Amino acid sequence: MDYILILIAAVFVNNIVLSQFLGICPFLGVSNKVSTSIGMSGAVLFVMTFATTVTYLLHEYILAPAGLNYLRTITFILVIAALVQMVEIILKKVSPPLYQALGVFLPLITTNCAVLGVAILALGLENSSLLKAVFFAISNSIGFALALIVFASIRERLELANIPEGMKGVPINLLVAGLLSLAFLGFTALV
Amino acid sequence: MAGTVTKKENFLKGIIKDNPVFVMLLGMCPALGVTSSAFNGLGMGIATLFVLLMSNIVVSLIKSQIPSKVRIPAFIIIIASFVTIVEMVLEAFIPFLYEQLGIFIPLIVVNCLILGRAEAFASKNDLLSSIVDALGMGIGFTIALTALGAVREILGSGSIFDFRFVSEDANTFILFILPPGAFIALAYLSVLFNKVSKTN
Amino acid sequence: MSKKESTFFNMIIALFVITIVAGASLGFINDITKGPKAKARLERKVNAIKQVLPEFNNNPVENVLMLKSDKVKDSIEVYTGTFNDQHIGTAIIGSSEKGYSGLVKIMVGFNPDESIKNIVVLEQKETPGLGTKMKGDKFLRQFRGKKPSEYNVMPTKDGGDVDALTGATITTRAFGEATQMAYDIFVETNKSKN
């Protein structure tokens, strides 16, 4: 079944962060605590899915028919930026504690390459349809969440480890990410 | 002469002290994603430099006309336009690079480096300083990406700028042109950069 | 260096003007690059045909045969090469979307005796260093001179005759599928000619 394949590919084989290098900034920046990682993942899930839906429809019914494909980048990013603003406003009214918890991460989602990246990738799916695109977005956000949360749990433990001075901070994080990426590489044979 | 930063300092900060990739940790996605070869790294660096330069120029020129509340959307439109121009020009004139960089070309628009400089510098400084800032940051970014690409290409493909120095069947550290290798290479390159920049 | 006030009117005007200027510039650049874009694509095609067919002196692109198929989105292109009006080969574009990263598009040049003269990769986004080795001589060598009716173009893992690319079985499979597609079309067009 196509959909199972999309899910497995997005989460394991072609993991959006560890394989496709999208969403690295939040991945390295937010993942020092598991709790914030979970919050960020939730926000990304929401924005990514919503954004892909809108951009897919925008492309399918407006841009493509009018031959305005070259406006894709600019319209997509504006849609994402607008959506993030909306989410901020709604969240502030509906759930202030959640809004506080996510804090500065929300606006950062606009520049999360994973969101724009997935929106564009969704256009190139085999036999694409709106349902497939949305499912693709959800699968990728699950993949993002997985990578982020696993990485965060490792980082929490890393805080207590004895790390050489020159490797502290960015280098050791990248190295761990590399090992994680290596582990995920093993999933290639799944499909 | 206004300001406490000389032109030279303004330019050099982007290369060492505030290097976008190694120090500010901006633009990680393309840094890891397109550096499987030195040429790709260089190409991406130059494309980003172009967008950074043009957007800094435009933002600096019209900064007094942009109401503060809408400056982020305004910056985004400006940056996205230049990214689209790069997309179109590459597809038409350098299709090889266009194919290699793939999805990372449109993703230049979310490179926090560009939006960051527009917000932190170009919207608050004069045209010439903004140009120097863009050049410094852009060149620093390009150097980082090209270096990373070179390391990965040498170890992973046995070549540099497509010039092979091992036979086609030789066993190379393929790991380095794969995703894990990108992380690992950048990790060690960061350590090296930190060591070098600290001793200066 | 005073900023404009953030009144509703000012905000709308500022964004509106920026958008109009941006849109106009993009439209303008699009018009300028449309020509070179198409030209580059055409040149790539002609170069590909030159690589997969023996010497020809007709214009295969002019009399291209476009076939509709339910297997692919766009029509399938069949290019016939002749030298001094002698049919010397057919170039067909085959594709498969089952590559590791999606579309793999190749041009297969067939000799009149149904054997493959050469294959050239047109489009692919496979893993650098692994799947991209499909463009290399070592891999393509396996196909040259072979007849798909006798030589199974799929990887040995699937019962075929092709040595898969290291760490890129999926890519090899997609490549094989694309080759098979080109061959099937070749056989069909030959049938309809006779």
pTM value > 0.90: no
Length of chain B: 200
DSSP one-letter code for B25: -
Contact B29 A22 (CB under 8 A): yes
pLDDT at A126: 67
Say which of C6, C19, C37 has its CB closest to residue B77.
Answer: C19
pLDDT at C3: 60
CA–CA gap between residue B122 and residue C71 (Å, rounded): 52
Sheet holding C102-110, edge to edge: C65-67, C76-83, C86-99, C102-110, C116-123
Q: What's the mean pLDDT in B142-148?
A: 92
pLDDT of B3 above 60: no
pLDDT at A184: 86
| C 120-149 → A contacts, CB under 8 A | none
Instruction: Name residue C120's beta-bridge partners.
Output: C107
pLDDT at C14: 83
Which residues of B touch chain A, with CB atoms under 8 Å apart? 22, 25-26, 28-30, 32-33, 72-73, 76-77, 80-81, 83-84, 87-88, 103, 106-107, 109-112, 115, 175, 178-184, 186-188, 190-191, 194-195
pLDDT at C50: 86
pLDDT of A154 above 50: yes
pLDDT of A71 above 50: yes
Task: Please report, for chain C, how many H helices and E strands are present, in that order.
Answer: 3, 5
Contact C40 B93 (CB under 8 A): yes
Total structural domains in chain B?
A: 1
Contact, A23 vs A144, CB < 8 A?
yes
DSSP string, chain A: -HHHHHHHIIIIIT-TTTTT--SHHHHHHHTTSHHHHHHHHHHHHHHHHHHHHHHHHHIIIIITTTT-GGGHHHHHHHHHHHHHHHHHHHHHHH-HHHHHHHTTHHHHGGG-HHHHHHHHHGGG-TT--HHHHHHHHHHHHHHHHHHHHHHHHHHHHHTTS---GGGTTHHHHHHHHHHHHHHHHGGGGG-
Instruction: Name residue C67's beta-bridge partners.
Output: C76
**pLDDT 10s digits, A80-129:** 988 888 888 887 887 787 777 766 677 778 878 889 888 888 887 766 78
Q: What's the mean pLDDT in A155-180?
A: 84
- Residue A65: which domain range? 2-190
Contact A126 C22 (CB under 8 A): no
Contact A113 B182 (CB under 8 A): no
Contact, A172 vs A154, CB < 8 A?
no
| C-chain residues near A70 (CB < 8 A) | 26, 30
Contact, B75 vs B55, CB < 8 A?
yes
Structure tokens at C119: 């294959």
Amino acid at position C139, single letter: F
DSSP string, A157-189: HHTTS---GGGTTHHHHHHHHHHHHHHHHGGGG
CA–CA gap between residue B26 and residue A32 (Å, rounded): 18
Residue B56 lies in a domain: yes
**pLDDT 10s digits, A122-151:** 887 766 788 888 999 999 999 999 999 999
pLDDT at C1: 40
Q: How does the average pLDDT of chain B come out, rounded?
A: 84
| B 66-105 → C contacts, CB under 8 A | 66-70, 73-74, 77-78, 80-81, 84-85, 88-89, 91-93, 95, 99, 102
Contact, B21 vs B14, CB < 8 A?
no
| B-chain residues near A17 (CB < 8 A) | none
All chains having 3 or more CB pairs closer than 8 angstroms to chain A: B, C
Total structural domains in chain A?
A: 1
Say which of C30, C98, C101 has its CB closest to residue A70.
Answer: C30
Q: Which residues of chain C have pLDDT under 50?
A: 1-2
Domain boundaries, chain C: 50-193
Nearby residues of C84 by Cβ (< 8 Å), 6 or more positions away: C57
Instruction: Name residue C91's beta-bridge partners.
Output: C79, C109
Structure tokens at B81: 């336009």
The confidence band for B84, taking pLDDT boundaries of 50, 70 and 90, is very high
Amino acid at position A105, single letter: F
DSSP string, B96-119: HHHHHHGGGTGGGGG-HHHHHHII
Q: How does the average pLDDT of chain C come out, rounded?
A: 82
pLDDT at B1: 44
E-strand stretches of chain B: 159-160, 163-164
pLDDT at C193: 64
The residue to which tokens 């179109």 are assigned: B88
The residue to which tokens 């290098």 are assigned: A21
**pLDDT 10s digits, A35-45:** 888 888 888 88
CA–CA gap between residue B106 and residue A55 (Å, rounded): 14
Q: What separation in angstroms does the CA of B76 have from each of B66, B107, B112, C19, C25?
A: 13, 12, 11, 10, 16
Number of Cβ within 10 Å of residue A174's Cβ equals 25
pLDDT at B169: 62
Amino acid at position B24, single letter: M
Q: Best residue in A73, A79, A116 to probe B by mutation, most B CBs within 10 Å?
A: A73
- Residue B182: which domain range? 7-199
Which residue has better confidence, C143 or B1? Answer: C143
Q: What is the ipTM of this complex?
A: 0.80
Nearest 10 degrees: CA dihedral of B104, B105, B109, B114? 90
Continuous H helices in C53-155: 137-140
pLDDT of A73 above 50: yes
Contact, A74 vs B77, CB < 8 A?
yes
